[in-house]
Amino acid sequence: MVNFSLEGKVALVTGGAYGIGFAIAEAFAQAGAKIAFNCRSQKHLDEALADYKAKGIDAKGYICDVTDEEAVKALVAQIEKELGVIDILVNNAGIIKRIPMCDMTVDEFRQVIDIDLNAPFIVSKAVIPGMIKKGHGKIINVCSMMSELGRETVSAYAAAKGGLKMLTRNIASEYGEYNIQCNGIGPGYIATPQTAPLRERQADGSRHPFDAFIISKTPAARWGTPEDLMGPAVFLASDASDFVNGHVLYVDGGILAYIGKQPK
């Protein structure tokens, strides 16, 4: 029988206060996991804890900067003390800066790389020893279609997500023998509060130009929702995916498979 249960498992979802991270954590909780997440501010932490409580989820929230290795070590130690050794890690925390490459400062580029690529390295490095001792572990890196494609103004983000794809494969290669599976989820364009301005109707009732562009490029003819990522995340976190390793599962409505419509 296929086992999708996460009963009794301890899951850490970085940046799990809202959006994709929150949806994944909610799915894990529904499957039986104990949830830990981090934020970088008390305000966001308090708001997230209230949101989890409203969903009936007894999540543990922590303030932690995932680019700070010592802070991450302390976070993992605290989670192990309060909940147990981490079975599932989701490296979800990330940022994007939409700036043309030649206008972007080196510091801005480095900040994106630090949060979107260096942090998953730091957090994975902190949890892998416990997973080795426990004899199993699941690491899920939130990649992107920009792990495969380029686009204007996202040079740093695409570089980071391309690197995260290869970090995913390397963790799988290096630690698969310890029964640790490391895979990625590559979301397509997801309808979240952050993308809401791109989906607002224009004054004449027409679609926002970017909204129309995404719909035309997506065989599913819609934006994704955070809920679309819940099932794939539970699969990659569960025993059902024990022989899936080093894979990036793109949840994109078919964008990467599609060349696009012929202009009229």
Catalytic residues: 157
Rounded to whole angstroms, the maximal C-alpha distance in the chain is 62
The DSSP code for 7 is T
H helices within the chain, ranges in order?
Answer: 19-30, 42-54, 69-82, 106-113, 119-134, 155-175, 209-217, 230-237
The CA distance from 24 to 30, in Å, is 10
Q: What angle do CA 88, 89, 91 make, to 5 degrees?
A: 155
> What is the helix (H) or strand (E) element at residue 37, kind and residue range?
strand 34-39
State the DSSP string of 230-244.
Answer: HHHHHHHHSGGGTT-
